[in-house]
Structures are given as C-alpha cells and as structure tokens.
Amino acid sequence: MTSADRRTRTTSATGAVSGAPVGVGDDDLPRVVLVTGASSGIGRATALRLARPGGVLALAARGEEGLAAVAAQCRELGARVSTHALDVGDDAAVEACVADVVRREGRLDAAVTSAAVVAYGDFTEVPAEVFDRVLRTDVLGTANVARHALRRFREQGDGTLLIMGSVLGQISAPWMSAYTTSKWALRGLARALVIENRPHRDVHVRVVSPGGVETPVYRRAATYLGRHGKPPFPVYAPETVADRVVRVLAKPASARRDTRAGWANPVMVAGFTLLPGVYDALVRPGLSVFGLDFRRVADTTGHVFTPSERAEPRGEDAPVRRRTRAAR
C-alpha cells in the first residue's frame, strides 16, 4: 500500500476508518506512538488514523477487551501494536508502559493523552471520591504520561507530547465542575511544559481542544443530575478530531500551541471572556437544552471507576444525531 493509497479513507465492517488526512504522508507521521484512552472515541480514531505498515502503536486504557478490539483493527491496517491495560492515574504503571515501549522499539516518537472520564452534577452533590477520581484520571493521568514521555523525548532529543484539551479548558460549564477544573488545569500544565521545553528544540508539547464530539464519554460519565450529558452542537465525528491530532503530530514545530477542533469554540470563548454576565445567564438554560439528554436516569458512577469492556467508536445516539464531518 502506498502513501497515496493510504490517504483514501476506508471504512471496514467494524467501523474502523483508516488513513492519514489528505496532505499528510505516512513519512510525515511519527513512527512509535503511545495513545492513552485508545479503546474508545477520539483515542481509538487517532490510533486507527496512525495505523499503517511500519507504524508502531502502544495502546493504553483500563479495559483489556476494548484495547484488544482496537489493536486487532490497527494490526489489520499493518501496524505493529502492543496493548497496555493500565490506569493512567497510576504513575508507576505509566512509567512501566513507556519503559516497555522503549525497550522494544528503542524510542518513543509521540504520546497522545486521550484518557478521560466525566462526572455530571451540581458540585455539592457529586461525591468527593467521584470528583477526585475525575481529577486523578484527567489531570494526574495526563501529567503521568507527560512526565515519562518527556523524560524519554529529552533523552533521545526529540518527540511530541499531544495533550487532549477541550473548549472547557477555556470556558466554564455548570454541572461539569470536575471535568472543567481538569481541562483548565491541563491548559496551565501544557503551557508550563511548552515553556520548560523551549531549550529542547525538537521536543514539542501541543494541545488539541475539541468542542462537542460524538463519543461514548457522555453515556459513560457519572451523573447526579438524573440525566446523561450529550455533546452540544456543533457535534463532530471523532475521526475529525483525530485528523487534527494527526496533522499536529506530522508538523509539531509549526503547529499552534493549542489547536481547536470545532468552529464554535472561539464564539463560546469570546462570549465567556467579553460578556461574562450574558454568558453566565445563558449557559445554564443553554446546557440544559443542548448539553443534556432529556431521558431520566438514576444516579450512577458510570465508568469513572471501572473500564468499559467494549471498544466503542461513537456515542450510542450516533445514528440519530446530526454530525458535522468537516472541522472548520
């Protein structure tokens, strides 16, 4: 299969969409990549975009079954794949994973941190252990990957750390306090890492910040609202965000520090920053209508503490929900 062939998208019966985005050749892509949160949503789509003959993928998440399914699809596309069933909040496990990849391959070219969990609910009603676990996974989990990946990158002289942010790292939303806190923290962490790594010319730290993406994260979230969340309009396919990730990985030196994936992000950020009173008045009813499912559900910890065993490409409502395929 040539580079040009690979740019033609193929969708397998299992829903695996392969191929780097138009204009990105296989040779532009990092060879050895660690992807966390690789069994679902954006992490899964990113792994599939990077899967190609000669590519080496280390896929991490908690659930072995979900990882195995994505690994099989990546192998079908020609990649060499290892799976790492771990909790990113466990620093020693992340360290062992990076060490294992380096022992096998001699290097690590890039790490993409896509593992995350979400909890919905009024701040006072979300149990402390749920709030803490969201921060442990989303903030400390990312920091753990960053720590061990960056140590390796500096040792070998190059490498790209791509942190999955969110528009919620630049605006605030009610009923998502733990997740919002996490994404604001990650933006601060990422900027600190960019500055610290300035002396290392070929070590890059970049953020990709999606808006609403159609993934299982909403249905897997803990909720204390009596309702599940859903991605707000405009909703993107995980593959669209994966394309953004792949483009940044292909040319990290010229990529922005923070690449948005969603045309509405700047609109929301402008409202939040320039018209805070209007924003605060509108975001509550807005989220209630556009960001929450109307069906009633019982309180649940969702998958905050436990993995989902299935590999899940998208949200459960995928067939009925409007999907905006092209990021603008």
Active site residues: 179, 183
Give the residue, chosen from 111, 115, 139, 149, that forms a contact with ligand NAP under the rule CB under 6 A: 115
Is residue 137 at the binding interface for ligand NAP, with CB under 6 A as the rule?
yes
Q: Is 217 a residue that touches ligand NAP (CB under 6 A)?
A: yes
**β-strand 203-210 against 119-120: which pairing, if any?**
unpaired
Residue 169 sits in the site that holds ligand NAP (CB under 6 A): no
- In DSSP terms, 61 is beta-bridged to 85
73, 160, 166, 170: which one binds ligand NAP (CB under 6 A): 166
Count CA atoms within 13 Å of residue 27 on its CB side.
3
- Our finding on whether 260 is near ligand NAP (CB under 6 A) is no
Contacts of 227 (CB under 8 A, 6+ apart): 120, 292, 293, 294, 295, 296, 297
Toward ligand NAP, which CB reaches closer, 105 or 316? 316
With contacts defined by CB under 6 A, name the span among 30-38, 48-56, 94-102, 291-299 that binds ligand NAP: 30-38
In the bound state with ligand NAP, the residue whose beta carbon lies nearer, of 19 and 43, is: 43
Encode 52-63: b = buried (16+ Cβ within 10 Å), e = exposed.
beebbbbbbbbb
- In the bound complex, which residue of the shown chain has the CB atom lying closest to ligand NAP? 41
Looking at the Cβ atoms of 42 and 189, the one nearer to ligand NAP is 42
Using the rule CB under 6 A, which residue among 6, 31, 49, 62 binds ligand NAP? 62
State the residue for tokens 């499912």: 293
- When the beta carbons of 40 and 177 are compared against ligand NAP, the nearer one is 40
Least distance (Å) between residue 117 CB and ligand NAP: 5
Q: How far is the CB of 162 from ligand NAP (least distance, A)?
A: 11
- Dihedral sign, Cα of residue 317, residue 320, residue 321, residue 325: positive
Residue of the chain from 30, 43, 159, 302 that contacts ligand NAP (CB under 6 A):
43
Residue whose token pair is 């990730």: 245
Q: How far is the CB of 168 from ligand NAP (least distance, A)?
A: 7
User: Given the rule CB under 6 A, which of 55-63, 247-255, 271-279, 291-299 is the region that contacts ligand NAP?
Assistant: 55-63
> Which neighbouring-strand residues pair with 312?
40
Tell me the closest approach of the beta carbon of residue 277 to ligand NAP, in angstroms: 26
**In whole angstroms, how large is the CA radius of gyration of the chain?**
19
Please name which of 2, 24, 8 lies closest in space to residue 244, comparing C-alpha atoms: 24
**In 3D, which of 60, 268, 260, 20 has the Cα closest to residue 164?**
260
Choice from 83, 114, 197, 259 touching ligand NAP (CB under 6 A): 114
**Across the strands, what pairs with 81?**
57
Q: Establish if 40 lies at the interface with ligand NAP (CB under 6 A).
A: yes
State how far the Cα of 186 lies from the Cα of 162, in Å rounded to an integer.
Answer: 11
| Whole-angstrom distance, CA of residue 76 vs CA of residue 98 | 24
Choice between 31 and 220, CB closer to ligand NAP: 220
In the complex, what is the shortest distance from the CB of residue 174 to ligand NAP, in angstroms, rounded to a whole number? 17
Alpha carbon separation from 132 to 10, 89, 129, 182 (Å, rounded): 40, 11, 5, 10
Q: Which of 32, 33, 50, 87 binds ligand NAP (CB under 6 A)?
A: 87
State yes or no: residue 206 binds ligand NAP (CB under 6 A). Answer: no
Q: Are 201 and 252 in contact (CB under 8 A)?
A: no
Cβ contacts of residue 129 below 8 Å, gap of 6+? none
**Where does this chain bind ligand NAP (CB under 6 A)?**
36-43, 61-63, 66, 87-89, 114-117, 137, 141, 164, 166, 210, 212-213, 215-217, 220, 231, 238, 303, 307-308
